[in-house]
Chains A and B, each alone.
Chain A
Amino acid sequence: MGKARKPVQIIILFLIVLLGGYAIGSSVFGGDGKPKEGSTAPSFELLGLDGKSHTLDEYKGKAVVLNFWGSWCAPCVKEMPALQAQWEKWKDEGVVVVGVNVGEDQMTVENFVKLVDINFPIVMDPGRDAVRSYGISPMPTTFFINARGKVDSIHIGQLDLSTLDTQIGKLVKR
């Protein structure tokens, strides 16, 4: 026992630091599981208006503006033209605007898209899965995700053209 004592001490202390670090770390950084600025954007798989299923991964390498909206939510409706304008401005520079419709059916979404005349990709989240994993409570909420798949910033509430422009500008530079 005498000789093995030191290594045993070191191994046990190491295990304590490891497990303890994990426990304390997850209480400090784990939080409520919602993505924050700097954390990896949660993946999703949702049906698009084009009838195909879409994931966040397919936009890897591009900056993503992920906008959660509903046709019943007035500020969401109001910011749509701004999103469309910025989509047209930035789409050739590696930026993609993705609208996530929350909890509505295809017909409502299709009619709405026609009505406000937008053509950026729209996916539908009828089961609110992405809403849950992104921790969305009020709408609209927009996530700015950089090309490496990390959340750059989160905007809660209606976006106007100029803030959207500066946000995307920052996103592209990084």
Chain B
Amino acid sequence: MSSKAPLFTNTKCECGHQNPVGTVLCEACGKPLEEKEAESSENLEMRYDGVARRSQRVNPGIIDRVWNFFSSVKIAVYLIVLTLLGSMLGTILPQESTFLNIDASTYYKQEYGTAGDIYYKLGLSHTYESWWFVTLLVMIGASLVICSLDRVLPLYKALTRQKIRKHRQFLTRQKVVLVTEVQDDPETWVERVAGPLKKRGYRVKTDGGALLAEKHRFSRWGPYVIHIGLIIFLLAVLARGLPGLNMDQHLAFPQGEITQIPDTTFYLENKKFIVEFYTEEEMPEEFRGKKVLPKLYETQAVLYECTADCGDPSKKPQLNEVASHDIRVNSPLSYKGLKAYQFDYDLTPVLRSVQPELKDSRTGEVYGKFKLTMKNPERSFEAGPYTVTLKEKYMDFGLSDEGQPVSVSPYPNAPAFLFLITGPDLPAEGQQYFYFPKQVDKTKFQQTAINDKLGGGSRFLELEVGDMKDVDFSESTTYLNVRVDRAMPFIWVGAAIVMLGLVLGFYWQHRRVWLTVDDGVLTLGGHTNKNWFGFRREIVGVLGKVDMAVDEKTLDNGGGLA
């Protein structure tokens, strides 16, 4: 490949055919063209049937040079090796994309020390998204396209325009050669041998005393089919970056709630989440008493699609049920390319609403009951003769540095409500009342003491939950991995095409036999792209049918390949 062509090359063969620059074997008769090659007695270089690659030319311009760079198989091999080495770097430490919530700039240092920090700073924590890795992939893609084009077209031309009668040197310098005497008239002998060749699936063409038998040419296209598949594969991977084609989110769905899937018009309801654990007996000895292992976790999910008022936050979206599924590990909910996989769960109950009763602590009389939701509660309630107005609400009650009541987080960990109650036997401006729905908070923050202070010693109203039925919990939260990957069908198509190419190339061999009978001498040359052993056997078998006993080994013209 690297041998430089001399300044003036006579590319015209003695058979009269004008060959393009870079041709190794005459396109017509197969005679070696270069003098050095013609004088040698080594086996012929049969790659691409000795034709010039498409881009080989005398005075390459810039475009030709770029083209030739990518057309080189040597470069392709270097690119592939570099990509392999680069990919290895990305496997040393877990990649950033495998974590859900980390700050990469500190995580690697904390977890892996200085080496981890260097790894992160070199950008290897996202190797496969780095510019140099993508560049390598793009260059491999370019090389695939250009290498294939440069070779497949000349090869196709060479194979469709094969001459039957070849130069004697072309025959005797194949890896399978037989030179022997025949008594018959050339044309008769050629006719006789054509029959058994055809029987073995060869397509036979004759030209007087010359014959060309060929089979399974299609196997030569195998590598190019593989390349087409790979290019589709690469393009599909590239297309995943386009908006709307790929999504991968990990989302929390509290039980009993409908939650929107961000960036889509879909909403998912977690109707019920169940988890079963392995019993002590089911677990191996070493886990007993130490580990709690879930046996099954399942989200009974319903998927809704928004049909109207979707983007407008001032309106309630109108939802239409489109799918439902009991999501388990490896059994996702699937709807039009959107998949929701079971990923994790959290069994911490979250308080959703309580229905306290307004009670007279002196008589025990219950005035009424109202529903108090943690999120967006109603502001005013009626309980018998009393009006209860919600004044303040703290989701996670605490005190600020200045001693003011504040919420320390937006999550309902320790909800607290400040009401103003008005009605009979109360001061005209009403009475304030602090209410902690959770029993543990009541004691912790001393609800009674606060209220005694707010309402004075004579207060007689209490808010209490009478029954556990009146407490609504979201028992658990399920975490789902919601994915859309619309490029996936193309990846499968690409992979299938690659497989097809592999099968074509592996399970069939392109076999050709040329022979001429001149002056009572049979000259036979044979070529295949692999399985020379089977090829020689086949020739021996064919010759046996025309009563010519040949030893398999004598067919071997050397060259080191089996």
Q: Which residues of A contact B (CB under 8 A)?
A: 1, 5-6, 9-10, 12-13, 16, 19-20, 22-24, 26-28, 30, 45-47, 51-53, 70-72, 74, 102-108, 111, 124, 127, 129, 132, 137
Contact = CB atoms under 8 A, between A and B. Distances in A.
Interface in B513-545: none
A149 B393 CA distance: 36
Question: Considering the complex of A and B, which 4 residue pairs feature the smallest CB-CB distances, nearest first?
Answer: A20-B138, A47-B313, A27-B134, A16-B142
The B interface, classified by DSSP as helix, strand, loop or mixed, is mixed
Contacts of B406: 71-72
Contacts of A53: 312-314
Contact of B141 (A20, A70, A111, A124): A20
Which interface residue of A1, A74, A108, A137 has the most chain B CB atoms within 10 A?
A108
B493 interface: no
Nearest to B130: A27
Nearest to B314: A53
B408 A19 contact: no
Nearest to A30: B241
A142 B130 CA distance: 29
B129 A27 contact: yes
B560 interface: no
Contacts of B390: 107
B404 to A, nearest CB: 9
A12 B311 contact: no
11 contacts: A22-B238, A23-B138, A24-B131, A27-B131, A28-B131, A45-B311, A72-B408, A105-B375, A105-B393, A107-B379, A108-B395
B502 interface: no
B158 interface: no
Contacts of A9: 55, 63-64, 67
A6 B63 contact: yes
B410 A102 contact: yes
A130 to B, nearest CB: 11
A129 B63 contact: no
A45 B313 contact: yes
A12 B262 contact: no
B138 A107 contact: no
B396 A111 contact: no
B314 A20 contact: no
A10 B63 contact: yes
Interface residues of B, number: 48
A47 B134 contact: no
B149 interface: yes
A30 B408 CA distance: 36
A127 B262 contact: yes
Contacts of B241: 23, 26, 30
Given A28-B131, A46-B313, A23 B153 contact: no
Given A47-B314, A104-B410, A23 B238 contact: yes
B327 interface: no
Contacts of B235: 19
Nearest to B398: A72
A16 B409 CA distance: 52
A20 B376 contact: no
Interface string B41-79: 000000000000011000000011011000000000000
A102 B407 CA distance: 14
Contacts of B19: none
A138 to B, nearest CB: 10
Contacts of A108: 393, 395, 407
Contacts of A19: 138, 141, 235, 238
A27 B132 CA distance: 9
Contacts of B314: 47, 51-53
B137 interface: yes
Contact of A106 (B54, B376, B395): B376
Interface string B116-141: 00000000000001110111011101
A23 B375 contact: no
Contact of A127 (B54, B260, B391, B396): B260
B363 interface: no
A46 B313 CA distance: 6
A16 B137 contact: no
Contacts of B182: none
Contact of A12 (B130, B131, B146): B146
Contacts of A132: 262
Nearest to A51: B314
Nearest to A10: B63
Contact of B377 (A26, A72, A104, A107): A107
A150 B153 CA distance: 51
Given A9-B67, A13-B66, A24-B131, A103 B392 contact: no
Nearest to B241: A26
B145 interface: yes
B400 interface: yes
A1 B153 contact: yes
A9 B377 CA distance: 68
B410 A72 contact: yes
B558 to A, nearest CB: 37
Nearest to A70: B410
Contacts of B379: 107
